[in-house]
């Protein structure tokens, strides 16, 4: 489980476009990930992140709506933005996943990173990653790092816990793409 300061360091890193690892995130990803081939990395991303995150989005959507409805009068200044940001996140991730799975990753596998069309798509994916990181940053801010207000009910607390876990998983996934998968392609002369 990634700690809050690691979350922040990851968001910083992934939104900046820099490729310098800070100490806080150096040990987030096991070293073995760096040894995987491009095909195995793509499989890991789809099997370990896309599937679980789609399930989480489906599970959390009614929870986010429920806490907004139940606690609207008392906590609307927090829960309306949470509802809006979560909806944005869901839309962005669902559209991003299908683009990777059906369009970009198959192209990477067949043409390699040297291909011009592939390179253009990778730039688009990185831009989408930045948008997703920005939503996560706002979500963290408005929820005070996913800490429910004092005296909150179990559904409120449980929803924030799910949002926190989803955030961490998304950040690790983006890290794997930006920092391992895309550079790995470039390293191999764009042709693995």
- CA dihedral (26, 30, 32, 33) positive or negative: negative
Span 117-156, contacts to Fe ion by CB under 5 A: none
CA distance 112 to 15: 25
Contact between 177 and Fe ion per CB under 5 A: yes
Residue closer to Fe ion (CB basis): 79 or 180: 180
Span 68-97, contacts to Fe ion by CB under 5 A: none
Least gap, CB of 42 to Fe ion (angstroms): 11
Name the segment binding Fe ion (CB under 5 A); options: 24-32, 47-55, 113-121, 176-184. 176-184
Helix boundaries (H) for the chain: 4-16, 38-45, 51-70, 72-99, 105-111, 116-142, 154-175, 182-187
Name the segment binding Fe ion (CB under 5 A); options: 10-18, 35-43, 106-114, 172-180. 172-180
Residue closer to Fe ion (CB basis): 143 or 173: 173
Contact between 6 and Fe ion per CB under 5 A: no
Least gap, CB of 22 to Fe ion (angstroms): 21
Nearest residue (beta carbon) to Fe ion: 177
Contact between 53 and Fe ion per CB under 5 A: no
Q: How many residues bind Fe ion (CB under 5 A)?
A: 1
CA distance 115 to 91: 28
Planar angle of CA 22, 57, 16, nearest 5 degrees:
25
Name the segment binding Fe ion (CB under 5 A); options: 12-20, 59-67, 150-158, 170-178. 170-178
Planar angle of CA 160, 165, 167, nearest 5 degrees:
90
Residue closer to Fe ion (CB basis): 71 or 90: 90
CA distance 119 to 46: 20
> Which residues are near Fe ion by CB under 5 A?
177
């Amino acid at each position: 489980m990634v700690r809050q300061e690691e979350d922040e360091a990851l968001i910083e890193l992934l939104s900046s476009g820099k490729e310098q690892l800070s100490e806080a995130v150096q040990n987030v990803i096991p070293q073995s990930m760096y040894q995987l081939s491009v095909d195995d990395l793509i499989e890991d991303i789809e099997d370990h992140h896309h599937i679980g995150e789609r399930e989480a989005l489906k599970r959390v959507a009614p929870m986010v709506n429920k806490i907004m409805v139940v606690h609207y009068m008392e906590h609307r200044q927090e829960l309306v933005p949470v509802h809006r940001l979560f909806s944005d996140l869901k839309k962005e991730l669902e559209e991003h996943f299908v683009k990777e799975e059906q369009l970009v990753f198959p192209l990477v596998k067949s043409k390699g990173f040297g291909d011009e069309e592939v390179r253009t798509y990778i730039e688009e994916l990185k831009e989408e990653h930045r948008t997703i990181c920005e939503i996560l940053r706002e979500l963290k801010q408005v929820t005070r790092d996913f800490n429910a207000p004092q005296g909150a009910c179990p559904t409120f607390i449980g929803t924030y816990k799910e949002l926190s876990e989803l955030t961490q998983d998304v950040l690790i996934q983006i890290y794997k793409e930006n920092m391992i998968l895309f550079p790995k392609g470039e390293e191999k002369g764009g042709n693995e």
